[in-house]
Structure 1
Amino acid sequence: MTSPADWLAGARPRTLPAAVAPVLAGTGVAAFVDGVPLGDLAWWKALLALVVSLALQVGVNYANDYSDGIRGTDADRVGPMRLVGSGTATPQAVKTAAFAAFGVAGVAGLVLAATTAWWLVAVGLVCVVAAWFYTGGKTPYGYLGLGEVMVFVFFGLVAVMGTTFVLTQTWEWPALYAGVGIGSLACAILVANNLRDIPTDTVAGKRTLAVRLGDERTRYLYAFLVLVAAAAVVAIAAATTWWALLGLVFLGRAVAPTRAVLGGAQGPALIPVLAATGASELAWSVLVAVPLLVRG
């Protein structure tokens, strides 16, 4: 029997900050551009956007577990336990869990679409399709080195700008800049994950971007993404309030994982980097969002 603790581990809770961060950032931008008191902000929409983001993240984690598991990619893992690869849960059960999570995201998304704009349904469907075909289907794009691109687009640009839009029903430049910052750090999480898995992915035929770039250039890519996130803070501050520069304090949290990556950490030594990068992304979103909420 698969225990609740096993299902929780399979949901990969260390990746969930990547789902919370874009909603925080998008809400901060919305509060600033609308200039409304915090009590008048449509917080229920922000909460629904958070449900959508978290459910999609859990869904893609289970979907990845299922697809990699049935392909045998997770047969020899360095990182945390996988439900299918370890035999802890059946492939069908994990697949069902993935679509249940997508269903939760769909219901919350429908409510947002009904109260904002119906074309958001199409955006939601594209998000679910992208989540499934990351490692699912006959030609998963995650195996072609496109995973980072999709993470940047969906867990960065779409998530942040979408949150701002459902709250303001307008398109805002600061939301774009925030999407770039959040997307860069979300990509950094995946880059660190794929850097760790280069040896096993190479054997399994999984041609991730890390496999294509090689070990050294992947490490430089990680550091570059952290710098992009810092540049995005400056762009947001220039477009809103200079108090947003408080977001640069996230670099204090990002120093240790960046040093580990550039220092040549391998295998299990990269596992803490994933959690630290997720914490850096969450810190980025909080430190940027709070000044925007207050000044707004």
Structure 2
Amino acid sequence: MDPRKTAAAARSTKRPVPPQAKVKPATAGDWIAGARIRTLTLGIAPVVLGTAAAHFSAPEEGWHWVRALLCLATALLLQIGVNYANDYSDGIRGTDAHRVGPSRLTGSGAAKPRTVLTVALVFLGLGALAGLAVIVLSGQWWLLAVGAAAIAAAWFYTGGKHPYGYYGLGEVFVFVFFGLVATAGTMYVQVGTVSLEAWLLAVIAGLFACSVLVANNMRDIEQDRLSGKRTLSVLIGLTASRVLFTVLILAPFGILVFFALLFILAKYVFFVLLLAVPAAIIACTGKTAQEFLLVLKLASITSLVFALGLAAAIVF
């Protein structure tokens, strides 16, 4: 048989390749969604708690509103920056090709990777400037090293050749930076010291932040496994992740007992269990992406309401 005729016949039997669906360019709403607004409570909570601890420790000094607001700006800008950086890094790695949650700017093709990267770097830069302003006002220049570490942690979560978020270390860094550093740092730049109460509040903020991350990763276990992204939930499995989430979101209420003994109004914060318990129940029984997304939302709201309520109890 003539090889040329065989090749021609093979080409004639091939099915036509369907054209790829066109993706609409990202809208303003898409960019706002890319900032992952629902998770920004994790940047607000530690600043609120750290400021409350500062006021309780040194009420005679009054409120350091400028420093507190700059701490809040630093936390939120860096968090938005890391969210866009995560979008960019996961997108170019192909990790988001299997996701079942809300679509991402890079992975969906709605925005060019370079554009997403530029936006991420802009927010990280603005966060660095806000942090620098805090350092200048407080005179604590050694905090430059802490700020540099925070920015590095933001980028290497999913960026670089060996992102720590792909090796089950995401929760460790989230606990350190969204809990310990953010809360204790907020108090320190205002009054120059960190009290026992502040460290306990920092642990609370860190636990809530980790609960949100676990909720997110539980939803994406199968997709992350396919993509080679070894989050903690991928490593320990869904059942252990359910237990871990429950411990993380309920443990702050154990620490709350300490504050309830010190501040008469703190006992009312236990009403936040009305949000935390349903989140734990859904996390332990949920099977769909929508259910785990609800868990993430409830965990985020729980962290904010808890922080606001306890901060008010401490101050008033």
Contact 1:165-1:171 at 8 Å conserved across structures: yes
CA deviation after TM superposition for structure 1 residue 273, in Å? 1.2
* Aligned 8 A contact 1:12 1:61 in 2: yes
Q: Distance in 2 between matches of 1:169 and 1:265?
A: 47
2:50 to 26, 30, 33: 26
2:263 matched to 1:265? no
Secondary structure of 2:107's aligned partner: coil
Cα distance, 1:247 vs structure 2: 2.6
Residue identity in the other structure for 1:220: V
Deviations, residues 60-102 of structure 1 (Å, cap 9, x unaligned):
1001000000000001221112000000111111111111111
**Structure 1 residue 242, shift from structure 2 partner:** 4.2
- Could you give the per-residue CA deviations for residues 233-268 of structure 1, whole angstroms, max 9, x where no partner exists? 223445x42432333222111122111011233322
Aligned twin of 1:213:
236
1:102 to 101, 124, 134: 124
Change (3 A) 1:246 1:29: farther
Q: Give me the whole-angstrom Cα distance separating, in 1, the residues matched to 2:154 and 2:126.
A: 14
Cα distance in 1 between the residues matched to 2:234 and 2:264: 40
CA distance, structure 2, for counterparts of residue 150 and residue 292 of structure 1: 27
Q: Does 1:195 align with 2:218?
A: yes
Alignment map for 1:142-153 (pairs within 5 Å): 142-153=165-176
Q: Distance in 2 between matches of 1:263 and 1:75?
A: 26
RMSD of equivalent CA atoms? 1.3
CA distance in 2, matches of 1:153, 1:49: 16
- Determine if the alignment matches structure 1 residue 184 to structure 2 residue 226: no
Instruction: Give the TM-score normalised by structure 1.
Output: 0.95
Equivalent-residue separation in structure 2 for 1:12 and 1:247 (angstroms):
26
Asked if structure 1 preserves the Cα contact closer than 8 Å seen for 2:242 and 2:284, the reply is yes
CA deviation map 1:157-179 (0-9, x unaligned)? 11000111111111111111001
Q: Could you tell me how far apart the structure 1 residues matched to 2:52 and 2:266 are?
A: 10
Work out which of the two has the higher radius of gyration on C-alpha atoms and give 1 or 2.
Answer: 2
SS in 2 for 1:171: coil
SS at match of 1:78: coil
For 1:278 and 1:166, locate their aligned partners in 2 and report how far apart those are by CA, in whole Å: 26
Q: 1:35 aligns with which of 55, 59, 82?
A: 59
Contact 2:47 2:71 (8 Å CA) reproduced:
yes
TM-score by length of 2: 0.89
Q: Is the 8 A contact 1:78 1:268 kept in 2?
A: no
Aligned to 2:37: 13
Question: In the alignment, which of 48, 51, 63 is matched to residue 73 of structure 2?
Answer: 51
Alignment of 1:1-296 (within 5 A): 1-36=25-60, 40-116=62-138, 117-238=140-261, 240-294=262-316
Q: In structure 2, what is the Cα distance between the partners aligned to 1:265 and 1:246?
A: 33
Of structures 1 and 2, the one scoring higher in RCO (CA 8 A, sep 6+) is: 1
Aligned-partner Cα distance in 2 for 1:292–1:213 = 38
Letter in 1 for 2:158: T
Distance apart, 1:154 and its partner CA: 0.3
Count of equivalent residues: 291
Gaps of 5+ in 2: 1-24
Q: Does structure 2 retain, via aligned residues, the 8 Å contact 1:249–1:287?
A: no
Shift of 1:269: 1.8
